Amino acid sequence: MNLQDRNKVFIDRDKLYGLLDRQAPSDNELNEILNKALKLHGLNIEDVATLLCVNDSCQIEKIMHTAHLVKEEIYGKRLVLFAPIYTGNVCMNNCTYCSFRKDNHLIKRKILTMDEIEQETRALLRQGHKRVLLICGENNKNGTDYMCQAIRTTYAVRENLIKPNGSVIENYIRRINVELAPMEAHDFARLHEEKIGTYVCFQETYDPIEYKRFHPAGTPKADYEYRLTVMDRAQEGGINDVGIGALFGLTDYRFEVLGIMEHAKHLEDCYGCGPHTVSVPRLEPAVGAPDAQNVPHPVSDEDFKKLVAIIRIALPYTGMILSTRENSDMRNTLINYGISQISAGSKTNPGAYSEEESTGSQFELGDHREMEEVINSFIDEGYVPSFCTGCYRKGRVGEDFMDLAKPGLIKQYCLPNALFTFKEYLEDFAHEDTKAKGMAMIKQMIEQYDQKQLVPKIKENLDNIEKGGRDVYF
């Protein structure tokens, strides 16, 4: 662990733009990098810069193919599902791309009460969700005290199901991640005590000069360095699982990918473990947000797919998150090239799951499908929808998680745990046709599973779930 590098500004703008000033690779050079990627040790920043300069469609095809192989090898056919709960859309910042910005008078504002958070949680539990992301604008009224209370409220909700035979299934949220404005280490320690999973915060742009343009002076978010070093304070507060990301569309996407690489390296160098997840939000239209209506550096669909594939092979053990900002076609494509976690049935306006009355949403969604429809389409694509929270609840987080993941050991937990949670979903929430399709998929996955010694225990657990057992995991 390199103590003196903590809290250091690890982005050298000129160096990163300099790295992008290069020719596209020859086929031989490209093959060399992709062969290295197939060894699953990741790539260095020069390799990543070289891949980012590829524009030839055959070469892009090769990068995508490599990403597909890496994804299959490490994550197999699983996809973790979650939903956000927006607890408030009041914000003291003025980010030029977001509807929640304080100068936007076109949206209705609200901060949910604890009762309302409970109702939102119940609505998501009734859809079958087990993992939620609490998220909001930055405001004095929803600081750490409020968030701790919100976390406690969400974890405490029990939305019980009565089965046809009269038995009662206890249904509750098993993992809460949070996406909140940067805070101090002592605040993180409090969130840690409340047992959050991952702390997520996007740098928006890693370019310190452009950052100023999108985050006007006089607002807390204007402080680039405070945001850049937030994960160091999270670690200091005891949170080992952190999620990073950039908002694609603000600047040159290639610079942002290099920024993500530098951030991951900084965390690895200082804390022995890179980020748990990388998110790839792409700028969407948003009411009253000038830079969302006129995107400064639009990222084409082709470039977006390429950047996801490059991140996948550069940081093979880092989960990648895609939200409902993207449409169903893009989501179904990217699960093959890198995405391992995906939101489903999401709403970005506070209270939207449980109330008729509409408050302002943060941006326009690309995927409006209900959870079961999303699940059906993933089954059709051959992916097992997973609500697994096993690693986090068994303490397999941060460096411990990576120590298991890198030699491939985590895989023996992942597929079975995915199947257990999927089976729970099918038993408790799915319509008959989805259930039949899902059960066939589980059967097929067990037949193909290479850890044969675990199969009897897996079958025993699945039988147990059929009889009413819940929250079973390795």
Binding residues for ligand SF4, rule: CB under 6 A, are: 91, 93, 95, 98, 100-101, 137-138, 181, 221
Strand partners, 319: 277
Which of 75, 224, 337, 363 lies at the binding interface for ligand SAM (CB under 6 A)? 363
Give yes or no for residue 202 binding ligand SAM (CB under 6 A). yes
Alpha carbons 173 and 168: distance in angstroms, whole number: 16
Neighbour count for residue 38 (Cβ, 10 Å): 13
With CB under 6 A as the contact rule, which of the stretches 26-34, 276-284, 333-341, 394-402 interacts with ligand SAM? 276-284
Q: Can you point out the beta strands (E) in 190-348?
A: 199-200, 242-245, 277-279, 319-322, 341-343
Alpha carbons 451 and 415: distance in angstroms, whole number: 10
Q: Which does 101 bind (CB under 5 to 8 A by kind): ligand SF4, ligand SAM, none?
A: ligand SF4
For 124, the enclosing helix (H) or strand (E) is: helix 114-127
| Binding map of ligand SAM across residues 409-438, x = CB under 6 A, - = no contact | ------------------------------
Identity of the residue, 82 or 97, whose beta carbon is nearer to ligand SAM in the bound complex: 97
Q: Which does 292 bind (CB under 5 to 8 A by kind): ligand SAM, ligand SF4, none?
A: ligand SAM
Beta carbon of residue 138, minimum distance to ligand SF4 (angstroms, whole number): 5
Report the candidate in 252, 265, 254 with the shortest Cα–Cα distance to residue 210.
Answer: 252
Q: How many residues in the shown chain lie near ligand SAM by CB under 6 A?
A: 21
Distances (CA, A) of 268 to 194, 263, 317, 391: 25, 9, 12, 20
Identity of the residue, 177 or 386, whose beta carbon is nearer to ligand SAM in the bound complex: 177
Give yes or no for residue 281 binding ligand SAM (CB under 6 A). yes
Please list, in sequence order, all residues whose beta carbon lies within 8 angstroms of the beta carbon of residue 38, skipping any fewer than 6 positions away: 66, 69, 70
Alpha carbons 72 and 325: distance in angstroms, whole number: 24
Identity of the residue, 349 or 386, whose beta carbon is nearer to ligand SAM in the bound complex: 349
Which of 80, 147, 280, 289 lies at the binding interface for ligand SAM (CB under 6 A)? 289
For 82, the enclosing helix (H) or strand (E) is: strand 78-88
Alpha carbons 369 and 367: distance in angstroms, whole number: 6
Give yes or no for residue 325 binding ligand SAM (CB under 6 A). yes
Q: Which does 281 bind (CB under 5 to 8 A by kind): ligand SAM, ligand SF4, none?
A: ligand SAM
Neighbour count for residue 118 (Cβ, 10 Å): 18
| Binding map of ligand SAM across residues 119-138, x = CB under 6 A, - = no contact | ----------------x-xx
Q: Which residues bind ligand SAM (CB under 6 A)?
A: 97-98, 135, 137-138, 179-181, 201-202, 204, 247, 281, 283-284, 286, 289, 292, 325, 362-363
